[in-house]
Amino acid sequence: MKLSRRGFLKVSAVAGITAFLLSGCKKDSEVLETSKPGEIQPLVQGEWKPSGCLGCTSACAKQVYIVDGRAIKIRANDESKVHGGNSCPRAHLAVQQVYDADRIKQPMKRTNPKKGINEDPGFVPISWDEAMDTFAEKVLELRANDESHKFILFRGRYTNINDIFYSSLPKIIGSPNNISHSSICAEAEKFGPYYTQGYWNYRDYDVQNTKYMICWGVDPLCSNRQVSHYLNVFGDLLKKGVKIATIDPKYSSTAAKSQVWMPVIPGQDGALATAMAHVILAEGLWSREFVGEFTDGNNAFIKGKNVKEETFEEIHTHGVVKWWNLELKDRTPEWAAPICGIDADTIRTVAIEFAKAAPHSIVFMGGGSNMQVRGAYNSMAVHALNGLVGSIDHEGGVLQGRSPKLLEMPKPDEYMDEMAKTNSKKKKMDQRGTKEFPALKDGKSGGGVVTNRVADAILSEDPYLPKVAIGYFVNLNYSCPETERWNKALSKLEFFAHCVTHYSEMSHFADLLLPSTHHMFEQMTSSAQKANSYTHLWMTQRLIDPVFDVKNPETEVAWMLAEKLAEKGFANLLDFYKTELKDPETGAEPTTGLELELYAYKYLTKSIWDSATYDEMKNNGDMFNNWQEFVDKGVWNSSSYKFKALWSEMKTETKKFEFYSETLKKALTEHAEKHSTNVDDILKTCKYTVKGELAFVPHYEVPYVEGKVEQYPFAFIDSKSRLAREGRSANCSWFQEFKDSDPGDIKWGDCIKMNPKDASKLGLQDGDLVKVTSPTGELTTTLKLWEGVRPATVQKNYGQGHWAMGHVAAADFDKKIARGGNNNDIIPADFERLSGSTAYYGSFRVRIEKA
């Protein structure tokens, strides 16, 4: 008998312990409850459930394999006509994000009132009730002092129903400040398409039917856009003999799969684009069907010669002759070659082959060519090549997509009291629409957001100092250039609540941490996107129980705040939700945040799952018989694309594709008049060099580059990482383990890449630790020698350099030591001001020294 050890506990000794302790009447368990027999079985086959990915704006439809309430793995939802059964690699990291022990687990409040990067916030757990009570008090304090406009809502990644939070909540409280992240995402890229064809959005490309594709400042095999689709289709394209040319200063993933790589000198895209346009016209290769023809049939686009406008009869375009005369006639490949770094023969060959394949040809434009200080006209010039060859809205060309017609979310106007009406008209915190920041989205002065300007505006208190802010899925002091300004600006905010899954850089300055659900598994989510000449809209149910005490900001947090405000006497927000967002099937008012979430999605998509509404709105694509049928399938597909429907029906001033942009002329003139000045002055204020009529055509601008070549010899190339989920996946071990899937990068680390010839001149070696200094900042990282960048340039991916986010993302999370460097620590905070876009590319130089 082995009772010796056990015998140690002599029963007689127990006498000293009170009967109470050992009575067996154990108090009720605090962390366990009864379950039904057989509720949990040995691991069995799970079920694939529809979901979607918001790891980038590709917004792919996915399925998640759920086994007994746990998410196991991810694949594409092959019901989507956008990407079929193909999935990009970054989606898989979402499982590591949701099941990360580093997540924020419950609401927490700051106990150290001092804010700063070196202050310990002293976060302690609180209940959701206390958190929302505090937040509501802060909002009501603003309202009590007639300062409701000093409230800001920062929006990062969001879903289709975000209006009920992002748009309506600030308005009902009485603030103009709903600040989106859009201008650190794109905007300059949308400028060109808008001011030529009246479309402020990403385009789609009919690659299945194309014969020639130019990928310009975009890397669709790596990052946005539509990676799932392009990773699949590229193989077919190459097999079919489709020619692909990639214009990118770095040897990108896409360049590696292209027949031609044109490593344009950073910022000089305008020279290359105008030279290609020159060739297309001079060689007589423009589209007769789309653009038109000389009345006598003879090509008068002769180098250096003006053309009489009346000799050319335009059909679906406007101003081709003006463009030639004002800009293109001297823009020969020989002129462009020394400027853009691509030899004249290559420029000519690519332009000719592209135009000869037209209209089944594509210039696929990303942000690289235009998110530059003087990038707006590059955006127009690059996109206008599609106009010249008639591939706009043509089979095998550049499309706009067929969005689902969704119900517009209810407007909050009736729930805005006098103060809300007055104060929500006050100036927005991002200075949009000021003389210096036209942000001409959709043709309106101040129509778009200038996200990164908000930090300066807070610091200079211009137009005023905001006091209370909430941000969700946003991390501005990591993702915006000149991060230090944001650290200071956030320190100045009296009160900031951060809705986020992980303790990120911005959380460090928060007063409240409001832990968020993961959009892919723990909340309902929906988003729409286009590719492959289709548009899809996917819908996610709540697939797993939230792992921690986390809530959906757009619905649950909004609802709890509404309830707290109502409790304290301000019921407008709650009334709005209850009255306007009833269940479309039963008419029931929402009574919880979860019901608000469900009803809002049902409401938004009613035109898809309710036949009467579908017919009423003349919708296209799939029609479902009821809500359940829609959510079970989880994805709606549009009808096939109607080509050429936009020809002479564009949303421009002339309804034509404008090479001479009457639309831009109108927008710039209105903006100038608003500020009692002229267009030349506005452009000068916005750092452009152009004067007169040239301002209304795509033209070459000498790039505005921060840092003189003598002090800063290397042009810096910023690019995105294959596995980055918008800067949020660095705490996933897979991100680190597969970091070398970015060509030239290293696992579990960070590097800057330099041409070996330059390194040799500087006496630097592969693996050296180097200090990278720009005119506005510095960082330390590892040097890699790489032939994939041309001499005098260096390239570094964005995505590392987190000093927060978790113990994998940061080298030492506790001591705030980053793993590698964050590009935004050295990128100067500058803008393409006409669109409001932040300038990430072709806009600054650095020097490299051994650290």
Partner 1 sequence: MEDFLVRERVRAKTYELLAQCYKLPLTFKDDNTIEVLHKLLSLVNEEAAIYAKEMKDALDNYSNLDEMKFDFLALFVGPKTLLAPPYGSVYMEEQGQIMGVSTYDAMRIYNEAGLKKSEDFKEPPDHVRVELEFMSTLIQQTIESCEKSEPQESVHKIELQLEFLSKHLAGWVKPFTNNIISNAKTTFYRSLAKATESFIRQEFLEDSIAMKEEFNELNKLTDNIN
44 binds partner 1 per the rule CB under 8 A: no
Angle at 426 between CA 423 and CA 432, to 5 degrees: 145
CA-based nearest residue to 317, from 643, 662, 642, 834: 662
Among the listed residues 57, 78, 106, 352, the single contact to partner 1 using CB under 8 A? 106
Nearer to partner 1, 73 or 308 (CB): 73
Nearer residue to partner 1 within complex by CB, 33 or 710: 33
Handedness of CA 561, 567, 571, 574 (dihedral sign): positive
> Which CB, 109 or 225, lies closer to partner 1?
109
Q: Does 42 bind partner 1 (CB under 8 A)?
A: yes
Q: Is 212 in the site for partner 1 (CB under 8 A)?
A: no
Contacts 24+ apart (CB under 8 A), 702-705: 702/374, 703/266, 703/267, 703/268, 703/270, 703/372, 703/373, 703/374, 703/842, 703/843, 704/372, 704/373, 704/374, 704/830, 704/843, 705/267, 705/373, 705/842, 705/843, 705/844, 705/845
**Of 40-48, 213-221, 272-280, 423-431, which segment contacts partner 1 by CB under 8 A?**
40-48
Give the separation between CA 343 and CA 351, rounded to whole angstroms.
Answer: 13
Closest distance of CB 38 from partner 1, Å: 8
Burial class (CB in 10 A: 0-12, 13-18, 19+), 463: middle
DSSP for 166-218, written as a single string = IIHHHHHHT--EEEESGGGTSSHHHHHHHHHHS--S--EE-GGG-SEEEEES-
Q: Which of 13, 44, 144, 612 binds partner 1 (CB under 8 A)?
A: 13
Q: Which of 102, 522, 597, 718 binds partner 1 (CB under 8 A)?
A: 102
Segment lying near partner 1 (by CB under 8 A), choices 47-55, 105-113, 667-675, 831-839: 105-113
Identify the residue among 240, 288, 691, 807 touching partner 1 (CB under 8 A): 807
Q: Which of 657, 813, 831, 844 forms a contact with partner 1 (CB under 8 A)?
A: 813
Question: Can residue 9 be called a binding residue for partner 1 (CB under 8 A)?
Answer: yes
Segment interacting with partner 1, rule: CB under 8 A, options 99-107, 169-177, 234-242, 438-446: 99-107
Is residue 2 close enough to count as binding partner 1 by CB under 8 A?
Answer: yes
Could you say which of 296, 408, 418, 814 contacts partner 1 (CB under 8 A)? 814
Give the residue, chosen from 49, 62, 70, 257, that forms a contact with partner 1 under the rule CB under 8 A: 70
If the CB atoms of residues 115 and 441 are measured against partner 1, the closer one turns out to be 115
**Backbone φ and ψ of 436, nearest 5°:** -80, -20
Give the integer Cα–Cα distance in Å for 389 and 549. Answer: 56
Q: Which stretch binds partner 1 (CB under 8 A): 17-25, 418-426, 640-648, 656-664?
A: 17-25
Residue (10 or 618) nearer to partner 1, CB = 10
| CB closer to partner 1 out of 577 and 813 | 813
Closest approach, Cβ 515 to partner 1, in A, equals: 8
Determine how many CB atoms are found less than 10 A away from the CB of residue 86.
Answer: 19
Q: Name 512's bridge partners.
A: 109, 497
Classify 832 as helix, strand or coil. strand
804 is a site residue for partner 1 (CB under 8 A) = yes
Please state the closest distance from residue 9 (CB atom) to partner 1, in A. 5
Among 105, 444, 492, 578, interactor with partner 1 by CB under 8 A: 105
1 is an interface residue for partner 1 by CB under 8 A? yes
* Per-residue interface string for the shown chain with partner 1, residues 723-762, x marking contact by CB under 8 A: ----------x-----------------------------
What is the nearest approach in angstroms of partner 1 to the Cβ of residue 52?
21
Look at the chain and count its residues: 851
- Contact segment (CB under 8 A) with partner 1 among 34-42, 251-259, 379-387, 705-713 equals 34-42
Count of residues touching partner 1 (by CB under 8 A): 63
- State the nearest-atom distance from the C-beta of 66 to partner 1, in Å: 12
The closest alpha carbon to 555, from 584, 586, 519, belongs to 519
Name which of 26 and 618 has its Cβ closer to partner 1.
26
Q: Which of residues 492-511 bind partner 1 (CB under 8 A)?
A: 503, 507
Tell me the window of 27-35, 424-432, 572-580, 585-593 that interacts with partner 1 (CB under 8 A). 27-35
Q: Would strands 657-658 and 260-262 be described as parallel, antiparallel, or unpaired?
A: unpaired
Q: Is 11 in the site for partner 1 (CB under 8 A)?
A: yes
Nearer to partner 1, 14 or 769 (CB): 14
| Residue 101 interacts with partner 1 (CB under 8 A): yes or no | yes
Task: Find how far residue 425's CA is from the centre of its chain.
Answer: 27
CB–CB of 182/453 below 8 Å?
Answer: no
Candidates 57, 65, 84, 96; binder of partner 1 (CB under 8 A) is 96
Contact between 349 and partner 1 per CB under 8 A: no
What is the closest distance, in whole angstroms, from the C-beta atom of residue 6 to partner 1 in the complex?
4
| Contact of 254 with 246, CB cutoff 8 Å | yes
CA pair distance 390, 369, nearest whole angstrom: 21
Residue 364 bridge partners (DSSP): 215
Q: Are strands 534-540 and 635-637 parallel, antiparallel or unpaired?
A: antiparallel
Give residues 516-555 in contact with partner 1 (rule: CB under 8 A).
546-550
Q: Report the residue from 46, 68, 651, 746 that binds partner 1 according to the rule CB under 8 A.
A: 68
Encoded amino acid at 63, one letter: Q
| Contact positions with partner 1 (CB under 8 A) in 117-136 | 122-125
Integer angstrom CA distances of residue 808 from 73, 728, 812: 21, 12, 9
Cis peptide preceding 463, ω within 30 of 0: yes
How would you write 78-120 as a 3-class SS string?
Answer: CCCCCCCCCCCHHHHHHHHHHCCCCECCCCEECCCCCCCCCCC
Q: Which is nearer to partner 1, 41 or 45 (CB)?
A: 41
Cis amide bond preceding 359, omega within 30 = yes
Site string for partner 1, 370-399 (x = CB under 8 A): ------------------------------
* DSSP state letter for 844: B
Instruction: Examine residue 618 and tell whether it contacts partner 1 (CB under 8 A).
Output: no
* CA distances (Å), origin 111, targets 118, 123, 438, 512: 15, 6, 41, 10
104 binds partner 1 per the rule CB under 8 A: yes
**β-strand partners of 75:** 63
Query: Is residue 513 part of the contact set for partner 1 (CB under 8 A)?
Result: yes
What is the smallest separation between the CB atom of 28 and partner 1, expressed in angstroms? 10
Rama region for 121: left / alpha / beta (φ>0; ψ in -120 to 50; rest): alpha
SS3 at position 662? helix
* Paired tokens of 729: 């996946």
Residues 6+ apart with CB under 8 A from 53: 59, 60, 62, 74, 90, 91, 94, 520
Distance in Å, CB of 565 to partner 1, minimum: 25
Which stretch in 4-12, 212-220, 577-585, 707-715 sits in contact with partner 1 by CB under 8 A? 4-12
Q: Which is nearer to partner 1, 108 or 247 (CB)?
A: 108
> Would you say 34 or 586 has its CB closer to partner 1?
34
246: which strand partners?
215, 261
Q: Which residues bind partner 1 (CB under 8 A)?
A: 1-3, 5-6, 8-9, 11, 13-14, 16-17, 21-24, 26, 29-35, 37-43, 67-68, 70, 95-96, 99-106, 108, 122-125, 503, 507, 513, 546-550, 733, 804, 806-807, 813-814
